[in-house]
């Protein structure tokens, strides 16, 4: 019987103004970012994507954690160089790439992303890809809004989406 390789992830908790964040980093690459710290759920999701996993407590000085703290500290472009491995299908990756191309302080509609992903009629599929984004904030699904500019579904809740967009200057305060 062939031995299965174990994927080792550093897990790091980052406190933020929108609540604690849980990160899973492998070889310096962000593979998961959850807006709620639920270890067993993150581990189950990593197992579905990577097979055998081992979680080890990581350092707060990990570059991804430092970049997130800088982002929440006001350096809204601090996440641009964070390397992420979201996995996913070819279509999901095209949607997530289009999300990463949205500059901080701006938004795009689900339809805009469908066009960017090569299928203008795939608006619902873009919404589904957004909902399956395993590295929220770094792949900024919070920057995606309805065609009329309204804030629509966000896995972390609309209050968090609103906070992130205000933090980046895409929404007026108040």
List residues with catalytic annotation: 141
Q: Of 85, 69, 92, which is closest to residue 17 (Cα–Cα)?
A: 69
Contact by Cβ (8 Å): 10, 53: no
């Amino acid at each position: 019987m062939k031995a299965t390789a174990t994927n080792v992830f550093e897990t790091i908790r980052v406190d933020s103004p929108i609540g604690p964040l849980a990160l899973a980093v492998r070889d310096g690459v962000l593979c998961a970012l959850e807006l709620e710290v639920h270890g067993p759920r993150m581990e189950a999701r990593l197992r579905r994507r990577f097979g055998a996993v081992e979680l080890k407590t990581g350092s707060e000085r990990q570059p991804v954690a430092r970049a997130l703290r800088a982002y929440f500290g006001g350096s809204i472009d601090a996440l641009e160089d964070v390397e992420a491995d979201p996995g996913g299908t070819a279509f999901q990756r095209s949607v997530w790439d289009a999300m990463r191309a949205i500059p901080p302080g701006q938004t795009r509609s689900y339809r805009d992303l469908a066009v960017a992903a090569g299928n203008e009629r795939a608006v619902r599929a873009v919404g589904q890809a957004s909902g399956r984004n395993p590295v929220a904030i770094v792949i900024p699904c919070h920057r995606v809004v309805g065609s009329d500019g309204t804030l629509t579904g966000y896995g972390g809740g609309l209050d968090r989406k609103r906070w992130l967009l205000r933090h980046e200057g895409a929404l007026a305060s108040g």
